[in-house]
Chains A and B, each alone.
Chain A
Amino acid sequence: MTVESPSPAAAEAPISARTVELWISYVLRAGVLLAAAIILTGVALLLVGRESASAPHSFSALVHTHASPLRLDDVWSRAMRLHPVGLIQLGLFVLILTPVVRVAMTVLLFAIDRDALFLVIVTIVLTVLVLGVTARIG
């Protein structure tokens, strides 16, 4: 296949690499839209039904909120019960995961190029990200 090569990196299979770049662009957009949709659903449920127990009821309650650590199974089970705050938290977490999925997809890009050096680099970045989003440290 002799298509003019845009860069030495993409010289081996320019079409596939381009396709992966498009996928990455779709995933970024889809992740943000999905997160926004989940958050909006949560906000709508919150504004419609006011009886939900754990939501603060006033501005001052919110200002004096103190941070307390979250657990994944709590967030998940509340979201599955369509608890408004749980849904918003799930949406925010989907948003945080979007760039991580993007980096994971870059693995494909460098696998196409058979670029071992960059596969190692992406793996390290991914490890740091997974440590961050699972809060294994901190």
Chain B
Amino acid sequence: MALDLFILGLFLASMFAGLLGALAGLGGGVLIVPLLTIGFHLDIRLAIGASIVSVIATSSGAAAAYVRDHLTNVRVAMLLELATTTGALTGALVAGLLDARLLFIVFGVILLVSLVPTAMRIGEELPEAVAGDWASRRFRLASDYPDHALGRTVRYEVTRVPLGFGMMYVAGVVSGLLGIGSGALKVLAMDSAMRLPMKVSSATSNFMIGVTAAASAGVYFWRGDVVPLIAAPVALGVLAGATLGAKLLVRFNNVTVRMVFVPVLGAVSVEMLLRGLGVA
């Protein structure tokens, strides 16, 4: 196959992955590694290298809008980034030691697990009767955000910070190991454990994804796993697709998209598992 065609193909496929990811409310990253390994027969390490860079592109683009709209809790983000960045470095270093087949298996398992919060919407739009814990008071994490749907400013408390912190370390390891944003795990920690309002936790999670990914992307980059001719069309494609998806999102019913997305991702995770086990 000619190189131009290959680059164009990577770009278009990544754009489609970014579009789907944005419509389903997941990052496009979760589709990129299966796409590059199963679809384009690339080495899983190079797929992870390309994916982690595309994660930075999409999250930085979206985060810019959220920060401007004052939805992001910068203090919560910064405190939890202690956990996610350390975790991401750990993950990137461990990935260098693991066998490629083991990476396929771990990817399949994590993908299945992260389908749970996507399938059943976990978290509360406006959590009630949340009492801040000692860490929330010590680090002054309680804040407020303007809710345009309700037409008022919503004050909120933050609880179970140590539990959330631990979950964030795990999310960081997964992100660094597999080259994904692990937004599902981050939202799980902030929604379910720390009980932040839904809008705040998704904005804050998005803000953190880029920073977490940067920590491990550097390791992949200097190791040579970010191959320019693969990573460039993938990053630009996902960025274009995610931007388009964000614009289309208002016209689509989020629930319908999820119904389509969940079975597709389920099939993809089984395929990755079989790859790892040497069956497929």
Contacts and interface: CB of A to CB of B under 8 A. Distances in A.
A25 B68 contact: yes
Interface of chain B: mostly helix, strand, loop or mixed: helix
A94 B167 CA distance: 29
Given A31-B60, A59-B2, A9 B143 contact: yes
Interface string A13-45: 000000001101110110110011001101100
Contacts of B198: none
Contacts of A92: 53, 221, 226, 228, 231-232, 235
A89 B218 CA distance: 12
Contact of A39 (B142, B210, B219, B236): B236
B247 interface: no
B222 A135 contact: yes
A67 B225 contact: yes
A97 B7 CA distance: 24
Interface string A95-138: 11111101100100100000001100110110011011111011
Interface string B50-76: 000100110111011101101000110
Given A21-B70, A97-B214, A99-B211, A138 B229 contact: no
B232 A67 contact: no
Interface stretch (B77-85, B106-114, B264-272): B77-85
B93 A124 contact: no
Nearest to A64: B43
A28 B82 contact: no
A3 interface: no
A133 B61 contact: no
Nearest to B67: A25
Contacts of B82: 121, 124-125, 128
Given A21-B68, A92-B235, A132-B89, A32 B61 contact: yes
Contact of B89 (A60, A65, A131): A131
Contacts of A28: 60-61, 63-64, 67, 210
A89 B231 CA distance: 9
A65 B226 CA distance: 11
B39 interface: no
A106 B143 contact: no
Given A28-B63, A128-B85, A95 B53 contact: yes
A117 B137 CA distance: 13
The range of chain B's interface size is: 35 or more
> A25, A137, A138: which has the most chain B beta carbons within 10 Å?
A138
Contacts of B229: 46, 55-56, 62, 85, 88
Nearest to A117: B139
Interface of B: 1-7, 40-43, 45-46, 49, 53, 56-57, 59-61, 63-65, 67-68, 70, 74-75, 78-79, 81-82, 85-86, 88-89, 92-93, 96, 139-140, 142-144, 153, 210-211, 213-219, 221-233, 235-236, 239
6 nearest A-B pairs in the assembled complex, by CB-CB distance:
A133-B218, A135-B222, A67-B224, A132-B215, A88-B228, A59-B1
Interface of A: 6-9, 21-22, 24-26, 28-29, 31-32, 35-36, 39-40, 42-43, 46-47, 55-60, 62-63, 65, 67-70, 85, 88-89, 91-93, 95-100, 102-103, 106, 109, 117-118, 121-122, 124-125, 128-129, 131-135, 137-138
22 contacts: A8-B140, A9-B143, A28-B210, A29-B61, A47-B7, A58-B3, A62-B3, A62-B6, A62-B229, A65-B43, A69-B222, A89-B226, A92-B232, A102-B211, A121-B78, A125-B85, A128-B86, A129-B85, A132-B214, A135-B219, A137-B89, A138-B93
Given A21-B74, A65-B43, 14 more contacts: A25-B65, A28-B63, A29-B60, A29-B61, A32-B60, A32-B64, A62-B6, A92-B228, A98-B214, A118-B78, A132-B85, A133-B218, A134-B222, A137-B89
